[in-house]
Amino acid sequence: MRGMRSVATGLLSALLLAGAARAQDKPIHIGVIASMTGPAAALGIPQRNSIALLPRELAGHKIDWIILDDATDATRAVADARKLIDEDNIDALVGSSATPASLAMIDVAAEKHLPMIYMAASAALISPMDAQKRWVFKTPQNDSLMADAIAAHMAASGVKTMAYIGFNDAYGDGWLAQMQRAATAAGIRLVDAERYARADTSVTGQILKIIAASPDAVLVGASGTPAALPQKTLKERGYGGRIYQTHGVAVKDFIRVGGKDVEGTVLPAGPVLVAAQLSDANPIKKVATDYVTRYEAMYGPGSVAAFGAHAYDAALLLTAAIPVALEHAQPGTPEFRAALRDALESLHAIVLTHGIATMSPDDHNGFDKRARVMVTIQDGAWKLIEE
């Protein structure tokens, strides 16, 4: 009888202990919304792939990554966000891949008091700062940072006039506005601005008009492989000036599709694109090469895309902020979400694959000039331009 009682007591205390342990190890749920299908699939797929490289455990808590696809559709992104909040009770949200869907999700994040980190680029997502946007952060560089870099490179190479051809969407609009500002500041005149659609089979009309304006340089404001078409047409029509691209083309497929016509292109990009060529003194090199090595170990040599690193950077920010937030509250509670937001906002000099982020109440991107390098294409590979 005595033996029985001691066994029962032992079992009970074991159960209690286990219960206590479970309470302490309450899992952290993080939602990820990526555009794995639709027009932004080229961004969303490497981002989804990067999630697989992320830690499953942090500070004694299991981390549960829940990934949904928004099909590059703003309505679907909002529905996904609500589902993750209501059904999975997430503590933070990473997403989405493209600007329109991300813009639509701000309302949800602010309404539910949920910290959210974008993988989309537009500066309009986080500025001007207001009561809603204080809940959202962003890992890709602002277009303005990249546009300034292009304008500086143009001015240094003696470019006086430039033309622009870009996507007929938010990406093209944003870049045109930023480039106009940066070019004017650098004393460069924009002589022609043309548009085309991602699915267009020909841009001959636009290119003829650009060539007729005879600019010293042309900037293509497009992303992924569709950015190769204007450049190929420019070469076909015998354009001899320098051609600039945006960091939207920082994928291997762009070089594959563009072939020898994209040799010598100049573009600004995140340091991760040329991780191995960075100087050893650069703290970004270690983080970036680590990401590239792990990604390629999992998905094959040459498979890494700079876009995927935005997801990885978002996770690095969370990894840095979660331990701080855990000191204030338990995961799954509104207090934890608020603490996580505060912790993200006070992050200082966090080294990411794309740059070094120092957040502030006004700047939820936190990057400075170290977050961009100028790159050219040489012999079918990215080559860092030393400054």
Partner 1 sequence: MSPAIAAILIQDGVVNGAIYGLLALCLVLVFAVTRIVLIPQGEFVAFGALAYASFAEGQVPALLAVLAVLSLAAFFLGLCTEPAGNERALAMSTLAVPAVSIIACLVLTPLRLGPAMDAVLAVAAVAPMAPLLYRIAFQPLADASALVLLIAAVGVHLALTGIGLLAFGAEGMRGPAFMSGGVRLGGLDVSFQQLWVVATALVVMAALAVFFATTLAGRALRATAINRIGARLVGIETAAAGRVAFTMAGLIGAASGVLLSPLTTVYYDSGFLIGLKGFVAAIFGGMAVYPLAVAAAFGVGLVESFAAFWASPFKEAIVFATIIPVLIWLSLSAGDAVEEEG
Applying CB under 8 A, the residues found at the interface with partner 1 are 37-39, 41-42, 44-45, 165, 168, 194-206, 208-209, 212, 224-226, 228-229, 251, 253, 256-257
CB of 272 to partner 1, least distance (A): 19
CB of 65 to partner 1, least distance (A): 21
CB of 202 to partner 1, least distance (A): 5
Cα dihedral across residues 310, 315, 317, 318: positive or negative: positive
3-state secondary structure of 244: strand
State the angle between helix axes of 283-299 and 306-326 in degrees (0 to 180), rounded to the nearest 10.
Answer: 110
Nearer to partner 1, 208 or 381 (CB): 208
CA separation (Å) from 296 to 85, 196, 280, 293?
Answer: 32, 34, 21, 5
CB of 247 to partner 1, least distance (A): 16
Phi and psi (nearest 5°) for 109?
-60, -45
Nearer to partner 1, 10 or 205 (CB): 205
CB of 273 to partner 1, least distance (A): 16
CB of 71 to partner 1, least distance (A): 10
**242 in Cβ contact with 216 (< 8 Å):** yes
Nearer to partner 1, 41 or 234 (CB): 41
Nearer to partner 1, 47 or 141 (CB): 47
Nearer to partner 1, 44 or 270 (CB): 44
- DSSP assignment of 168-227 equals SSHHHHHHHHHHHHHHHHTT-EEEEEEEE-TT-S--HHHHHHHHHT--SEEEEE--SGGG
Nearer to partner 1, 256 or 369 (CB): 256
